Chain A
Amino acid sequence: MYRYTDFDTAFVAERNRQFRQQVERRISGALTEDEFKPLRLMNGLYLQLHAYMLRVAIPYGTLNSAQMDQLALLAEKWDKGYGHFTTRQNIQYNWPKLGDVPDMLDALAEVGLHAIQTSGNTIRNVTADHFAGAAADEIADPRPVAELLRQWSTDHPEFQFLPRKFKIAVIGSANDRAVIKAHDIGIQVVERDGQIGYRVLVGGGLGRTPMIGKELSDFVPQADLLPYVEAVVSVWNLLGRRDNKYKARIKITVHEHGVEEIRALVESRFAETKAAFGGHDVALFEEIAAQFAPPAFRNAPTEVYDAAYATDPVFRAWADTNLSAHRIDGYAIAQISLKAHGETPGDASADQMRVMADIARRFGHDELRISHEQNVVLPHVHKSDLPAIHKILKANGLATANIGRISDIIACPGMDYCALATARSIPIAQEIATRFDELKIENDIGELKIKISGCINACGHHHVGHIGILGLDRAGVENYQITLGGDATETAALGERTGPGFSADDIVPAIERIVEAYLEHRSGREESFLETYRRLGMAPFKLALYGEEAAKKARAA
């Protein structure tokens, strides 16, 4: 794992010192809110519906146990005993007081964390595959690239006043677990003729105008990546629409100019950036990559695991849903669901954070990951330790066996917290999870991803949910639109709207009707919801939702 250099430590300390003084000047009245707001946003501090909110970056979703322990301390000391993990691998504290935030930032700095560039029109936290360094299908760990990009983008003088925010995601395998096609830039590690390079996508994004990213280059050599990415951001920085915030993201720039024109401009700019970098970035990359060396995996028998799997049905159910293939024999990737039925998606109490930190310390090579799906990952656990880990998780409300199931819902904070929201998300997620738990059909349904956003900005990724739910304000009443057929993976697709929305009372029964239609029409248990939707289209689901008239129209269309 990357450790802060003296430069990093000094940089964060200096920023914290500046922000402490800015807060003092705001409280004394020396700074107006208009003057203070851009300063607090640069440091991740929002003012939301009921309170301030501090968004802390978890670079590429990777944490060690000391960092997780410190997140727990912040939750307990300066918040209400919990934190909320987000769809961008960050953590948010919903209740800090303005005067406490400088102390919170200092506490974060003690463990190499900060909140810089988690807001504002800057390059945001660089996200990555949450299975990085562990996945069996990986070509190379994407995190050294993400860390290189983090260092390059932090306080980059050219990119502090971009047309709009800018999000980058990196993956190291053909299977996309980081939704790179819905990012401003998506980077995929690829191999060609024995050489590592990068496939670069541009112009993806959700929100008001959702777009799937387009391929800008099928292979950027490793040594060219940073100047190439700088060229992309630089081209957009000049072309991007500063006249209209809804048209300012790079997805609109790419859409308006066409990917060919953007590619030509990037290549021309790249000639300049490549010359300017002079190879320092390549040397830095090598230093960074060395810090992501794999841990010392052990070679041990797995009988304990096999025995527990054979005899303990609760353990088996958890293993079947929450474990993924590790690249080392005898190891597994274990996901800790933060989606206990009826609870808030992505929330963990301070106690739970400490439990997870302790498990990572004792059994997990001191590593934890936060997924964009708002769960926690133990990337490296030996199978023989899994029964013991499961027992601890179970005792702490963390053993929910539902990864990838209908109750493993992504939900943004929605109008329970967010000042931008138009409707609530969390209670809808809680009700859907509770309902399907009561029905006891989650495992029968199989893989089904529901994603809920409480406004058009789509933090809850609803466009790429197999079932997407968008909460809107219709004449002063919460109303929920449904989309079907979205896909967040390498076969990314935007969902299609079913028709008129549903009230808060009607949305859960509507989802139930969709699921019933799927169970009725699927060719067999092995055909997933998404596959059934792709085979049959919208008609059977429209019929289930709206009755015969609407379904006829859908068939005619």
Chain B
Amino acid sequence: MSKPFSPKVVTANALIEGDVIYLAADDRWVRSLTEAEVLTDEAVAQLRLLDASARPAEAVGVYLAEVADGPDGPQPTHFREAFRATGPSNYAHGKQAEG
């Protein structure tokens, strides 16, 4: 039996600013993980990944990141994605500073 598909979001870095972006359901790139579209179906996720990869003028290094869907929207399951979603731990820079 194949492993059940764990929820994903489409994420990348913005071309100009370089900061972490996520794909929202309405096709906008958003800066906050909580606004990202949560993909629970593997086929849909692959399709969304393809769509996002076709926007090279906006995003660099597009991939699917695993999340856990919670009451406040998607939450990172791995610490790397947690840092990407907040910023570095030595200064209040990056997303945590932007609020």
Contact = CB atoms under 8 A, between A and B. Distances in A.
Interface of A: 26-27, 29, 32-33, 47-52, 80, 94-99, 344, 415-417, 424, 426-427, 430, 473, 476-478
Given A415-B80, A476-B79, A97 B88 contact: no
Contacts of B84: 49-50
A98 B19 CA distance: 11
A51 B78 CA distance: 19
Contacts of A427: 89-90
Nearest to B86: A50
A179 to B, nearest CB: 25
B18 A416 contact: no
Nearest to A343: B90
Query: What are the 5 A-B residue pairs with the smallest beta carbon separation, nearest first?
Result: A416-B88, A52-B18, A51-B18, A29-B57, A50-B94
A95 B93 contact: yes
Nearest to A347: B90
Given A33-B60, A80-B93, A97-B18, A49 B77 contact: no
Given A50-B18, A99-B16, A416 B57 contact: no
B90 A415 contact: no
B11 to A, nearest CB: 11
Interface in B43-85: 56-57, 60-61, 77-80, 83-84
Contacts of B15: 26-27, 33, 98
Nearest to A30: B57
14 contacts: A26-B15, A27-B15, A27-B16, A29-B56, A33-B15, A33-B60, A47-B61, A49-B83, A52-B18, A96-B18, A97-B17, A98-B15, A344-B91, A415-B83
B66 to A, nearest CB: 10
Given A47-B60, A416-B88, A426-B89, A476 B78 contact: yes
Contacts of A48: 18
Given A50-B18, A97-B16, A426-B89, A416 B56 contact: no
A98 B61 CA distance: 15
Interface string B1-24: 000000000000101111110000
A47 B21 CA distance: 13
Contacts of A94: 88, 93
Contacts of A27: 15-16, 57
Contacts of A98: 15-18
B13 to A, nearest CB: 6
Contacts of A99: 16
Contacts of B80: 49, 415, 473
Contacts of A97: 16-18
Interface of B: 13, 15-20, 56-57, 60-61, 77-80, 83-84, 87-91, 93-95
A80 B13 CA distance: 19
Contact of A424 (B16, B19, B57, B89): B89
Given A27-B16, A47-B18, A417 B88 contact: yes
A395 B95 CA distance: 32
A426 B18 contact: no
A496 B53 CA distance: 44
A50 B89 CA distance: 12
Given A80-B91, A80-B93, A477-B79, A51 B17 contact: yes
Given A47-B60, A47-B61, 14 more contacts: A27-B16, A33-B56, A50-B19, A51-B19, A97-B16, A97-B17, A99-B16, A344-B90, A416-B83, A416-B89, A424-B83, A426-B89, A473-B80, A477-B79
Contacts of B90: 344, 416, 426-427, 430
B81 to A, nearest CB: 10
Most chain B CB within 10 A, of A32, A51, A95, A473, is at A51
A253 B78 CA distance: 37
Contact of B77 (A95, A430, A476): A476
B13 A47 contact: yes
Most chain A CB within 10 A, of B78, B88, B89, B93, is at B88
A80 B84 CA distance: 18
A49 B94 CA distance: 10
Contacts of A95: 93
A94 B88 CA distance: 11
Contacts of A415: 79-80, 83
Contacts of A47: 13, 18, 60-61
Contacts of B13: 47, 51
A507 B57 CA distance: 43
A61 B15 CA distance: 32
A417 to B, nearest CB: 6
A47 B14 CA distance: 10
Nearest to B82: A415
Nearest to B87: A50
Nearest to B78: A476
B68 to A, nearest CB: 12
Contacts of A52: 18
A417 B84 CA distance: 9
